[in-house]
Amino acid sequence: MALSTDVTTSVQPVTVPTSWLAGSAAANSSAHLATSPLSIDEIEALFNLPFSDLIHRAQTVHRAHHDANKVQLSTLLSIKTGGCSEDCGYCPQAARYHTEVENEAMLDLATVVATAKLAKENGASRFCMGAAWRGPKQRDLDPVLDMVREVKALGLETCCTLGMLKDGQAEQLKKAGLDYYNHNLDTAPEFYGEVITTRDYQDRLDTLGRVRDAGMNVCSGGIVGMGESQRERAGLIAQLANLDPQPDSVPINYLVQVEGTPLHDKMAGEKAIDWTEFVRTIAVARITMPKSFVRLSAGRQEMNEATQAMCFLAGANSIFYGEKLLTTGNPDVTRDRALFEKLGISPL
Ligand code: SF4
């Protein structure tokens, strides 16, 4: 996508198409979405804008496409925890790493439905079910299809993250009533091999293609703070923003360094990126994926209220809501409500 029309300040070389900013018909159709690829250079230049200019642009794009004071709430439940055969370097659920996460059996249907009901009562509009698998076998998928049907019947949007999908599985999930499928690209292709070796980048893109072809909404994002460079963060955003169509939901995770995982050892407890760089990542995601819901995801527990507020200002308009985020902590509901109250934010 050519960034050719500067509609904001003239001090920076990177510009944003008018359609991303105006509440015009073009901005409200899908016609403005990527028709030619955004380059990593263009995205990196956005990262390097002065902070105030970047936030201003992100907020302007955000307001053209979304209600700036509404945040979508998703609750995530781990329906099958631990024992995963993959080697994602950040993940405490990988069987090969010695973490405190145990291999557990799949939750039963009644437990999942009761949790979903509670999530709805607490204000969540979407219920995400996650399983620690390389991908679901058919015997695993069948009970998940029941969960999707029952959760959908509660009037919640449904989302699953089950790993790689084979031919036909996305269609089964769609038929059961699944609205969203999450499968993150995690990072830029250039850095990917530093984090995961048991599946390749193309496997991830193939799963996203199956989800899209089955008519479901794509939820795909990544993790920052894993030791990647800013250019590699820009590379992740380029991959996501150049998906056609762009993902409906874009979770941006800040690495939670869990003891026993390779990335915990590698990062040695040091914060890999400053909070301003995390906020920049949110802002760049917002500018380049104007219609997507950008989700402030893992790592929120480690963020103070001011940083979270900056993320909302930068265009984040979705959070995971509830006590647990798969196996790591998440700010509790009471704290989230208090923050929303202070910021005048209400749930979508
Ligand atoms: S991130 Fe998912 S696929 Fe990777 S090890 Fe963890 S549970 Fe398995």
From 91, 160, 165, 185, the mutation candidate for ligand 1 (largest count of ligand atoms within 8 A of CB) is 91
Q: Is 311 designated active site?
A: no
pLDDT higher for 324 or 283?
A: 283
Confirm or reject: Cβ of 195 under 6 Å from ligand 1: no
In the annotation, is 128 catalytic?
yes
Q: Is cis: bond before 245, omega within 30 of 0?
A: yes
Pocket lining: 84 vs ligand 1, CB cutoff 6 Å: yes
Q: 160: CA distance to ligand 1 center in Å?
A: 14
Q: Identify the pLDDT of residue 98.
A: 87
Q: Kindly report the three-state secondary structure assignment for every residue of 90-134.
A: CCCCECCCCCCCCCCCCCCHHHHHHHHHHHHHCCCCEEEEEECCC
pLDDT at 21 over 50: no
Per-residue pLDDT band at 329 (split at 50, 70, 90): low
What burial class does residue 348 get, using C-beta atoms within 10 Å of its C-beta: 0-12 exposed, 13-18 middle, 19+ buried?
middle
pTM (predicted TM-score): 0.86
Tens digit of pLDDT for each residue in 152-184? 999 999 999 999 999 999 999 999 999 999 999
| Cα distances (Å, whole numbers) of residue 54 to 261, 278, 308 | 34, 13, 17
Residue 225 pLDDT exceeds 60: yes
Q: What is the mean pLDDT of the chain?
A: 87
Residue 327 has pLDDT above 70, yes or no: no
Ligand 1: atom nearest CA of 84 is 8
Euclidean distance between CA atoms 4 and 13, whole angstroms: 10
Contact 218, 181 (CB under 8 A): yes
Digit-coded pLDDT (tens) for 252-280: 999 999 999 999 999 886 777 899 999 99
What value does the mean pLDDT take over residues 237-256? 96
Does ligand 1 have an atom closer than 6 angstroms to the CB of 86? yes
Cβ pair 180, 158 in contact under 8 A:
yes
What radius of gyration do the chain's Cα atoms show?
19
Cα(276) to centroid(ligand 1), Å: 28
Helix-then-strand count for the chain, H and E = 14, 12
The tokens of 71 are what?
């945040």
Work out the pLDDT band at 23, boundaries 50, 70, 90. Answer: very low
pLDDT at position 298: 84
Q: How far apart are CA 237 and CA 40, in angstroms?
A: 8
**Nearest atom, ligand 1, residue 134 CA:** 3
Q: How confident is the model at residue 14 (pLDDT cuts 50, 70, 90)?
A: very low
Q: How many CB atoms lie within 10 A of CB 144?
A: 25
Residue with tokens 């265009």: 315
CA distance 317 to 59: 11
Q: Is 295 a catalytic residue?
A: yes
**Mean pLDDT value of segment 243-255:** 95
Task: Give yes or no: 219 in active site.
Answer: yes
CA 260 to chain centre: 24
What was the pLDDT predicted at 328? 53
The residue-averaged pLDDT of 292-298 equals 93
Ligand 1, atom nearest to 196 Cα: 4
- For the stretch 301-313, what's the b/e string if a residue is b when 16 or more beta carbons lie within 10 angstroms of its beta carbon? ebbeeebbbbbbb
Assess whether the C-beta atom of 88 lies below 6 angstroms from ligand 1: yes
E strand or H helix that includes residue 287: helix 275-288
pLDDT of residue 100: 87
93 lines ligand 1 (CB under 6 A): yes
CATH 3.20.20.70 fits 69-347, yes or no: yes
Q: Ligand 1 centre and the CA of 65: distance in Å?
A: 33
**186 Cβ inside 6 Å of ligand 1:** no
Whether 216 lines ligand 1, by a CB cut-off of 6 Å, is: no
Say whether 91 is catalytic. yes
Instruction: Report which listed range, 119-123, 175-179, 322-326, is most confident.
Output: 175-179
Spacing, Cα 314 to ligand 1 middle (Å): 29
Per-residue model confidence as pLDDT tens digits over 185-217? 999 999 999 999 999 999 999 999 999 999 999
Closest residue by Cα to residue 264 from 82, 98, 86, 134: 98
Q: How far apart are CA 1 and CA 18, in angstroms?
A: 13
Active-site position among 128, 199, 280, 300: 128
